[in-house]
Chains A and B, each alone.
Chain A
Amino acid sequence: MTVMTDMAVPRPQRDWNFSWTDVGPFLALVALLMIGFAINPDFLSGTNLANVITRSAFIAIIAVGATFVISSGGLDLSVGSMAAFITGITIMFMNAMAPAWGAMAIPMGMAVAIGVGLLCGLMNGLIVTVGKIEPFIATLGTMGIFRALITYMSDGGTIPIDRTLRDAYRPVYFGTVGGIPYPILISIAVAAVASIALYKMKYGRKCAAVGANEDVARYSGISVISTRTIAYAIQGACVAIAAICYVPRLGAATPTTGVLWELQVITAVVIGGTALRGGKGHIWGTVAGAVILELIANLMVLSDFVSEYLVAGVQGVIIIIAMLIQRFSK
C-alpha cells in the first residue's frame, strides 16, 4: 500500500518529503559503522573499509539489477550460477584470444561477457513472461542449468585465466583512481545509471506499476511482458558487469564460484527497502544493503565476542534487527 501512496504523490513534491524507507538503510549503515568502531577501532581504518566496500561490489552490482526484477514483481534465483557461468565463458574466451590478440583479449572478453549476460537474462525473462512460469521455479531451473554448465566446462576443477593476461587484468579489481578502488567506482556508476533509468525514465515507472499491480498496469496500457523481460535482461547485464570485476580477483572460475550469491543479493535488495512482493525499487538503498551485509561479516571476524560456530546465527539476528528498525521507524 505504501507503494501506491508513493506513486500517487507527484514527483517534485516527493523529493522534498522525508521518507524513512529511503533513509532507513543508510541509518542502519551508520549505526553499524559506529558499533564497529566501538568494538574494534581498526574497523574504520582506510584499508579495512576499502577492502570491505570493494568486495561488496559484486553483490551490489548484481543487486542493482535484482532491484529492477524484484520491483517489477519478479525474482531471479539464478544470478549466482549465472555469474559463475559468465565468468567461465569469459575466461575461456580471453584465453583463446590471448595468443593472437595479447592484452586486447581483455576488452573483447568483457564484450562477450556482457553479450552472454544479456542473453542469459533474456532467456530467464522470456521463460517467465512468455512461458508464464513462476519466476521462482523458472530461475530455479536456470540456476541448475548454469551451475551444471560451469561444472561441465571446468570438469569440476578450475578454469584459470592465462598467465599473460593476469597482470594486465589485475588492476580492474585491485587498481585505484584517486585512492578509490575500481570496483567501487564501477558499482557507483552502475547504480547511477540504474537510478536514472528507474526514477527519471518512463521505463522505471512502468516497472513499479507492473510490480505494484499487474492488472492495473495492463489496463493502463503497459506491456507487462516487455517490462518484465527487460528487467531480467538488465539483471543479466549487471551479473556480467559483476563477473568482469570478479575475474581478476582470484583469476579463476570454479564450480563453487558465486554459490549462494542469489540469497545475498535478495537480502541486499530487501534491506535496501524494496518490497519482495514488488513495487517501488530503491537503488541506493540496495547498494547500502549490499555494503551492510559485507560489513556484518567483516565485523564478525574483527570482534572477538562471537564463537566461530555462531557467526551465521548472529548475522541472521543482525539482519532481522536491521529490518525491524526500518519497519518501526516509519
Chain B
Amino acid sequence: MLTRKRIAALAVTSLLLAGHAVAADKKVVAVSIPAADHGWTAGIVYHAQAAAKEINAAFPNVDVVVKTSPSATAQVSALEDLSAGRKLDALVILPHTSEELTTPVKAVKDAGTFVTVVDRGLNDPSIQDLYLAGDNIAVGRNTAKYMIDKLGGKGNLVVLRGIPTVIDDERIKGFQDAIKGTELKVLDIQYANWNSDDAFKLMQDYLAKYPQIDAVWANDDDMLLGVLEAVKESGRKDIKLALGGNGMKDIVKKVIDGDAMTPVETPYPPAMIKTAIYMTVANLIGQAPIRGNVKLDAPLITQENAQEYYFPDSPF
C-alpha cells in the first residue's frame, strides 16, 4: 500500500520535472503592448497576436506570449507577472509612457533578458538591445511633398492635428518644413484629438470659414474619415486632395480603388510590432545579429504598392 503510494508520488514528481524540463527548453519571448483602445493600438494587438501564432506554429521550441495592458501602471504589473517565476529570453515592449516603464524594463534587462523596444523610446536608451520605430517626421514630409507636387506648389491648405504629443509635433514639423518656401499656404491648423467626430465638426467649421480650400491634411486616418464625411455633405468641389496618415485599412482600400480625393497614404503601420517580434526571434533562433536602431521609413502608399500595406482582417 505504502510502496504503491510512494511509486505514484514518484511518478507524479518525475512527470512534473519532465514537464519543467520541456518548458525550460523552450525560449520564451514576452510581448508587452497597450490594450486596444483605439484603431492604431487595436492594429498593434492584432499584428502581435498574428506574429505570436505564426511563430509558435513555425518554431516549436519558441513560446511567444502576448500580454496587453490598459495603462502604464497595468503594464508595469504585467512585466512583473511575465518575469515572475521564469526566465524570459526576450522582451518586446511598446511602452505606454517612457517615464514609468524605464525602471521596470531595466529590472527585466538586468535579469539577462534581450530587450526590444518598439515605437516609444525609454528614457535610458542603453537598456534596449534593439529599438524599432516608424518615422513621424517622414509621415508629415512625404505627405507634404506629394501635395506640393500634385498642386503645382501652390494652393490653400487646412490641417487637422491630433493631441499635443511628440508624435503629433513631429508629423506637423515634417509637414511644415517641407512646404516652407513653396506657395502652399496653411490657412488654419487646429487640434481634433485623433477623433472622427471632432474632425467632422472641425472640417465643417473650416468649410464655413474658408471659401477656397485646395487640400486637407489630417495627420491621422481616424480624423480623415470625419473630414471626408464633412466634405461630402457640404457638396463643395474646390477640395482636390484630402490625405491622412497611419495606414488604416479603409483608407488603404481607397488608394487601391483609385479614389480621386485620397489617391495616396503614408504609413505609420501598427504591423511594425510584427517586424520587431520576428527580428527578435531571428536573433534567438537563427543567431541573426539585430542589435541597433531600426527606423521604418514612411514611403507613399500608392495604387502600385498598396497591397503590401493592406490588412483586410485587421481591425485597423
Please give the residue numbers on chain A whose beta carbons come within 8 Å of chain B beta carbons, in ascending order: 40, 42, 45, 47-48, 51, 55, 151, 154-158, 160, 174, 249-252, 254-257, 259, 294, 297-298, 301-302, 308-309, 311
Contacts and interface: CB of A to CB of B under 8 A. Distances in A.
A292 to B, nearest CB: 15
Contacts of B46: 155
Interface string B170-206: 0000000000000000001111001111001110111
A151 B36 contact: yes
Contacts of B161: 308
A250 B196 contact: yes
Contacts of A174: 233
B38 A156 contact: yes
Given A250-B196, A301-B209, A256 B191 contact: no
A301 B205 contact: yes
Interface stretch (B105-113, B222-230, B284-292): B222-230
A237 to B, nearest CB: 22
Nearest to A160: B250
Contact of B315 (A40, A55, A155): A155
Contacts of B200: 55, 249-250
Consensus secondary structure, chain B interface? helix
B316 interface: yes
Contact of A256 (B190, B222, B234, B314): B222
Nearest to B191: A308
A6 to B, nearest CB: 36
A154 B35 CA distance: 13
Contact of B42 (A45, A157, A251, A298): A157
8 contacts: A154-B42, A155-B45, A160-B250, A250-B196, A251-B229, A252-B225, A301-B202, A308-B190
A249 B229 contact: yes
B233 A255 contact: no
Given A156-B42, A297-B201, A301-B190, A151 B316 contact: no
Given A155-B46, A157-B315, A308 B38 contact: no
B37 A156 contact: yes
A250 B233 CA distance: 11
A169 to B, nearest CB: 13
Given A155-B315, A301-B206, A311 B190 contact: yes
A304 B106 CA distance: 47
Contact of B201 (A55, A151, A259): A55
B60 interface: no
Contacts of B205: 48, 51, 298, 301-302
Contact of B195 (A42, A256, A301): A256
A42 B316 contact: no
A151 B164 contact: no
B299 interface: no
Contacts of A48: 205, 208
A104 to B, nearest CB: 25
Contacts of B206: 301
Nearest to A43: B208
B103 interface: no
Nearest to A258: B197
Given A51-B208, A250-B226, A254-B39, A259 B164 contact: no
B41 interface: yes
A31 B229 CA distance: 31
A156 B41 contact: yes
B195 A259 contact: yes
B190 to A, nearest CB: 5
Nearest to A298: B205
A294 B198 CA distance: 11
Given A156-B316, A311-B190, 19 more contacts: A48-B208, A51-B204, A55-B204, A151-B37, A155-B45, A155-B46, A156-B35, A156-B37, A156-B39, A156-B41, A250-B197, A251-B229, A255-B42, A256-B194, A259-B195, A301-B188, A301-B206, A301-B209, A308-B161
Nearest to B205: A301
Interface string B16-60: 000000000000000000011111011101100000000000000
A297 B199 CA distance: 12
Of A42, A55, A254, A259, the most chain B CB neighbours within 10 A belong to A254
Contacts of B195: 256, 259
